[in-house]
Amino acid sequence: MKSPILSRGAPPSLKRWSAALPRPRLPTAKLALTTLALLLLSFLFGLLALSGSLVQVGLGAAMVIGPLLLMLPELTVWIILVSGMLLGILSSNPHMGKLTWSVSLLSILLLLPSIMNVLWTRQRRLPSFMQVALLFLVFCVCSTAFRGGGLQEFLAGFKRYFQTFGLMLALTAIVFRPSAIDNWRKFLVLVGLLQFPFALYELLILVPKRGGLASGSDATDVVAGTFGANIGGGSPNAVMVIYLFITMAFLAARWRAGLLRPAVFYALTFVCLLPLGMGETKVAVVMLPLVGLSLLRPDLLKAPLRYAPAILGLGLLTCLLGYLYVVVMMHSNLSEVIDKTLRYNVGNQGYSQGQILNRLTSFTFWFTQQRWDDPVGFLIGNGLGSSYSSLTSVSGHLGVKYMHYGINLTAASTLLWDTGLVGLALFVSVFVLAWLSAGRLYRHSEDAAVKADALAIQAAITLFMLSIVYADSIVNLVGMEMIYALVLGYLGYLMQQQGLLGKRAAPAPHRTIG
């Protein structure tokens, strides 16, 4: 069986050389070695099965299944999408929480064929932001090796940081059928719609178990859709909100381009809006205008007065969302909420109970702990995973030293401790360059669907930039990393199809929903 990756990515000379090779019968010695290897593997998997550890059994199976799935890249991506976007609903079950590890394992495996395709053919090129992303990966590995962190700490940190990089590269570097891309787009819209029934279940069933609506955000943060409702607290509800806003951005951009019927757009957007009022994610009040202004930016620059009603409507919707959070969900008033929000975000109060730092002080605290006799640590950090702190899993050496401080509260502070100022600059540069690349795609493309998607991608990137200073999920949680990997990978795919990377590829047909 020929690999669909190698057959489409390998140069013609390599294909001719491979076809010309003789096909001798397997020698007896090789047959014996192969049989012995199979017997040893069978013995190994028998021991893993007897261990009773689902993690060890899963890793053993991945050694065999993983390479086989690389021969079927579309199926691999489907498994990653379903596992990463839907199986988070099982994370509250301690016996099922490790199922999402399949995303990390398969995505990391996709790094190999992606890089091979880029090296073997001139038709596949990586955009500048992906090149910087790979540079960031190499920098993190080298800086961690230089700083001499522990192997277990490094492996855990590498998994958290780069568990979706392979998916991002594969969407650009591997030649997928246009129909597959189209099906993945529809599936991701379906994921956005599925947030409503799961969020409703969490609101009606799980929130009362945590004290009900009267308990405020301590209870309602369990509303996280399919991204993982943790009954014990700390659910990624903000990740669900970000995904819903990105879904609505793509729908709105295509609707404004005339590619989506108004009735379909209104129905889909209404379903996506419903979960926003079920949880308590105040940052949504900031996200909504950011997304709206990003989508309207080209038209606002041309005719600002013409779009004044749209800006007014956006403002009214933002006020309505703020009213839901302040009055309905928090049973408070605006002045009290603003005062409380400022205290635990930029004041002297810790972000949560038992935590010393907040979003601002987690950033400034890093500067106060830097020493003049350690400029290397200032520039390249202390190694991947060093700042991670957890009461349920292995913490990094700095996470143990500053336990209960919250030094890894945001991605910005985490990157500073782990990778230093250089690492933070490289990570931010990935999104800055991606935003500029989406703008270039918008200007050069004549396809209405591509132009609409380019605007939506820019809106999504503004939320990613906000996420860097809002939480650590973009360098820690597989759900959030899946979202940015899909957006940036799709951007790379569109640039490839529009001839903005290397040799021009045939444009893929774009279908509309509804």
At 394 the pLDDT is 73
**Cα separation, 293 vs 296, whole angstroms:** 5
Per-residue b/e over 77-90, b at no fewer than 16 CB within 10 Å?
bebbbebbbbbbbb
Burial of 131 (0-12, 13-18, 19+ CB in 10 A): middle
Residue 114's identity, in one-letter code, is S
Q: At what angle do helices 28-51 and 54-69 cross, to 10 degrees?
A: 140
At 282 the pLDDT is 81
At 28 the pLDDT is 61
Query: Could you state, in chain order, the average pLDDT of each consecutive group of 10 residues for the chain (514 residues)?
Result: 44 44 49 57 51 52 61 87 80 58 80 80 80 94 86 87 92 90 95 93 83 62 82 79 96 94 95 86 87 89 78 83 74 78 83 84 91 88 89 80 90 95 97 96 94 97 95 92 96 92 51 41
- Token digits of residue 161: 């940081």
At 63 the pLDDT is 55
At 61 the pLDDT is 56
Q: Which among 236, 250, 237, 242 has a CA at the least distance from the CA of 189? A: 250
Residue 46's identity, in one-letter code, is G
At 336 the pLDDT is 81
The residues, any chain, with a CB within 8 Å of residue 492's CB and separated by 6 or more, are 126, 127, 130, 168, 169, 171, 172, 173, 501
At 508 the pLDDT is 47
CB-facing half-sphere around the CA of 338: CA atoms within 13 A: 5
**Cα separation, 150 vs 385, whole angstroms:** 9
Tell me the CA distances in angstroms from 189 to 169, 459, 480, one per residue in order: 22, 16, 16
At 32 the pLDDT is 64
**Cα separation, 421 vs 405, whole angstroms:** 20
Q: Which among 485, 504, 513, 390 has a CA at the least distance from the CA of 129? A: 485
pTM: 0.84
Q: What are phi and psi of 148, to 5 degrees?
A: 75, 40
